[in-house]
Amino acid sequence: MTEPIYINGKVWLVSPTVVAVLYHLCSYKRERFIWIDSICIDQANNAEKDQQIGLMRRIYKNAAQVIIWLDDIEEPWKVRTMLAGLWHEFMFGSVESCMALIRQHSEVFPEAGWIQLSDMYANSWFFRIWVVQEAAMASSVTVLAGGETLVWEHIAMVADMLNKVPSSMALQSSNLPGVSDTFPTGVLHAFTMARFKMERDSPQYDLISLIGFTADFLSTEPVDRIYALLGLLKPDDDVHQWLKPDYAKSAKDLYTYVAQNLILKNYNNILSCAGTGYDRNLKDLPSWVPDWTKQSIMQTHRQHFTKIQHSARYNASAGSTLAITIDQGNQQCQVAIHIQGHRCGRITHVSPAMAYTEHNGGEGASKAALRSIFEAHMLARRLAIKFARSPYPTGQTIEEAFWRCLVGDTQFQRPAPPELGIFCRLWEASLERELSEDVTHNFRGELDEMAGVDLLTNLELSNDTIRCALTWNGSRIMCCTGRALAVTDAGYLAMVPPGAKAGDWLCLFYGLNTPFLLRSLAQDVEGQGVPMSQVGEAYVHGMMDGEAMWPGEPAETFVIL
């Protein structure tokens, strides 16, 4: 849908949002110069876009004022009041008072502004990749929503508060009816933009970090997931020497080119984001090149184990030295990498992929969704009980190894706190009570064997109990949801990509922090030098700290297409 406006006597068709912005900003008293990218850059001219993108950092940085226009914000005065109240508590209160205020607004009086606040952070503006540069580079920002002016500093500071561990865990363990399930992501996006804005004069992040921070932002063209970030780099970053906007280049060629140039410095972050074990939009990419159009922080399989909160804790290859080369290939052959490592097992059994139940999603998960989540979880438990080595190689019980594997043995600390095992059981018990007997009777054996079952027999599902169960639900996003549980031929438990199959090889690449799954591309042919595809990274319980770097194990050079 478009509407006409007149510029220099010519008709331009623009979006209703542009018309609304122009009406709001027009003045009968003085001239105003307004720059709107959709008008000032010819979107159909690739050469012009190539040139203009290089200027956008300077345009936003030198603008007298950058206007952020938020459409479809209901009762914006409630949003303004809520932001001001939370900002004041964050600035002058304590951690405890902030959490108490969040609980009060979210659970007791949500209609007083909490729902409106969540809808504001869930607004589509906070999800556009190009607006990151707008907000980050601007010297002065004005936020307009439904005729109300919102304070950007309040938006940024409240996002900071909600992203801190105590507040985020409070949200994660709350049942917030009517709150958009995109609210947490929008909050994170606002926080990300605010962090970049603080460093506008001295950017701190490299390109691969920026790609990770903006994983859930959206772009119309796949190449913009890269080009929209160039203005956030330091002016003297060496990326500017080898990467220029070129809209004649396909997404496949751009992503492969970027991965080639970054992999030697960022091998963990490149390889952990890649693999054929997940759905890909760009089907013809080499398996070791990330499909950055499919990255998502809200799905566990995009919560890569090599992200900062994990990479300092996992060290599967025991600090060994990376040995990798790139074969450029030709027009008929994909670019390949050659990387040294060794095989440490083979997948024998794989469970169904696990899903995440979003407990802040309005009316909540449907019974069908809960049933699917419960069944996948219990089938994984059954697989562990039946095929995992007992006693487990770590010396833990199968029960403990199972729940620790599901969360990657971490919950903002490693190892994960032991009470998470009880929270897992509470979560199972709460789902069992929610679902009918015809669903749960198939897993009666597993449910009856539950550790701590005496604690649960007469359990009343109080608010505290439900909160503990939801804490486990939130912890699952660290590792298992979006992945499948697998068992290796040696009886190890692993979280693997949902596309993993029995027969996939579990491998350690020297110098990398996590194990990976590879699959032979030559049918019925195994051995060194056989072309393989990368299925994806894995968490293997009992192999994440160098335990599988066996003395004397011969190295193998894997060829990955």
20 pLDDT more than 90: no
pLDDT for 171 equals: 56
Q: What angle do CA 469, 470, 476 make, to 5 degrees?
A: 100
532-547: pLDDT as tens digits: 999 999 999 999 999 9
Q: Is residue 153 predicted with pLDDT exceeding 90?
A: yes
Tokens (6 digits) for 272: 């952990």
- Whether the per-residue pLDDT at 334 is higher than 80: the answer is no
**pLDDT for res 2:** 85
Whether pLDDT at 195 is above 70:
yes
Q: How confident is the model at residue 167 (pLDDT cuts 50, 70, 90)?
A: low
DSSP 333-344: B--EEEEEEEEE
CA 43 to chain centre: 29
State the pLDDT confidence band at 312, using cuts at 50, 70 and 90: very low
Can you give the pLDDT at residue 497? Answer: 94
Q: What is the DSSP string of 374-434?
A: HHHHHHHHHHHHHHS-SS-TTS--HHHHHHHHHTTT-SSSSSPPTHHHHHHHHHHHHHHHH
| Helix/strand/coil (H/E/C) assignment for every residue in 159-220 | HHHHHCHHHHHHHHCCCCCCCCCCHHHHHHHHHHHHHHHHCCCCCCCCHHHHHHHCCCCECC
| 121-139 pLDDT, tens digit each | 999 999 999 999 999 999 8
pLDDT confidence bin for 508, thresholds 50/70/90: very high
> What's the pLDDT at 458?
46
Band of pLDDT at residue 308, cut at 50, 70 and 90? very low
Name residue, tokens 């159009």.
293
Separation of alpha carbons 222 and 92, rounded Å:
43
318-329 pLDDT, tens digit each: 999 999 999 876
Strand pairing partners for 508?
Answer: 342
- The DSSP result for 523-543, as a single string, is TT--STT-EEEEEEE-EETT-
| Residue pair 484/349 in contact by the 8 Å Cβ criterion | no
Q: Identify the pLDDT of residue 40.
A: 85
pLDDT at 202: 81
State residue 345's pLDDT score: 96
Which of the pair, 501 or 27, is modelled with greater confidence?
Answer: 501
Residue with tokens 């979107």: 43
Please, which residues bridge with residue 518 across strands? 505, 534
The one-letter amino acid code at 187 reads V
Q: Which of 122-131, 409-418, 488-497 has the highest mean pLDDT?
A: 488-497
Amino acid 115: pLDDT: 86
The predicted-structure confidence for 90-108, as pLDDT tens digits, reads as follows 899 887 888 888 878 777 7
Q: To the nearest whole number, what is the mean pLDDT of the chain?
A: 85
**What residues have CB less than 8 Å from 513, skipping those under 6 apart?**
268, 305, 306, 310, 311, 314, 315, 316, 317
At residue 269, the pLDDT reads 84
- Band the pLDDT of 299: cuts 50, 70, 90: low
At 168, list the tokens.
């985020």
